Amino acid sequence: MGERILSLRNLTCGYRVPLLSASFELKTGEHLVIYGPNGTGKTTLLRTIVGLLRPISGEVEILGKRAKRGSPIMKNVFYLPETIDLPAHLRAREYVELIFDLYGEKPDLARIHEGLNVLELGPFYQRRIGNLSQGQRRKLQLLVAYTLKRKLTVLDDPTIGIDKSGSNIVRYIVNVLTESGAVLITSRNPIVGLNNISIEELKKNVE
């Protein structure tokens, strides 16, 4: 059996008013896509899981430890928000190096090179972020997820702004990252070839 990476026990989340309640686990080698329309609580759930929001009730554990912002256990997590303002003045390479530095690690150059090929970002790696398209910026964030290779990778609607290849890229990244960890994803629609659950199924558990 794989190592238990993420555990949700009767987790109820929302802003004052409960949006949904969830209980599930992810172990090494596992992934889950939670899909549904905008405004249905997907982002709220992810923000609660990574410790950015307090749950109304219930518990979140990562590697057997309570998930809490600032806790050392959160070094094992990479969270990609649905929207994020990247520093336009930095080059793509500098941004990747910055994220590695925040995690206290040296960039894995071989893995970065591999990721650049997968994401077709090689020609843009020395460009300033301000000169990248929305899709290229999103791919840059996915490059970070791919190269950091955390125990738990949490991706909020990762295909936003990416062309039709987006789903293929996400499937590839999931397959690689679940070799040694777990991946949790939200999406507006199911992602073919991955394990999907509707946000409405989680909402059925709200008392």
pLDDT digits (tens, 9 = 90+) for 12-31: 888 877 778 888 999 999 99
Going by C-alpha positions, the residue among 11, 10, 84, 78 that lies closest to residue 44 is 11
The pLDDT value recorded for residue 20 is 83
Instruction: Return the DSSP state at 137.
Output: H
207 pLDDT above the threshold of 60:
no
* pLDDT > 70 fraction of the chain, expressed in percent and rounded: 98
204 pLDDT above the threshold of 70:
no
Going by C-alpha positions, the residue among 172, 202, 181, 205 that lies closest to residue 26 is 181
Instruction: Quote the mean pLDDT of the chain.
Output: 91
Q: What is the pTM of this model?
A: 0.93
205 pLDDT above the threshold of 70:
no
Coil vs helix vs strand at 69: coil
Going from the N-terminus, what domains does the chain have, and what CATH number goes with each? 4-203 (3.40.50.300)
pLDDT tens digits along 97-132 = 999 999 999 999 999 999 999 999 999 999 999 999
Going by C-alpha positions, the residue among 2, 59, 45 that lies closest to residue 181 is 2
Q: For residue 178, how many C-alpha atoms fall within 13 Å in the half-sphere facing its CB?
A: 20
Coil vs helix vs strand at 189: coil
Q: Give the integer Cα–Cα distance in Å for 207 and 19.
A: 10
Going by C-alpha positions, the residue among 93, 85, 157, 96 that lies closest to residue 123 is 93
Q: Give the integer Cα–Cα distance in Å for 59 and 22.
A: 10
9 pLDDT above the threshold of 80:
yes
For the chain, list the strands marked E by DSSP: 4-13, 20-27, 31-35, 57-62, 65-66, 77-80, 152-156, 182-187, 196-198
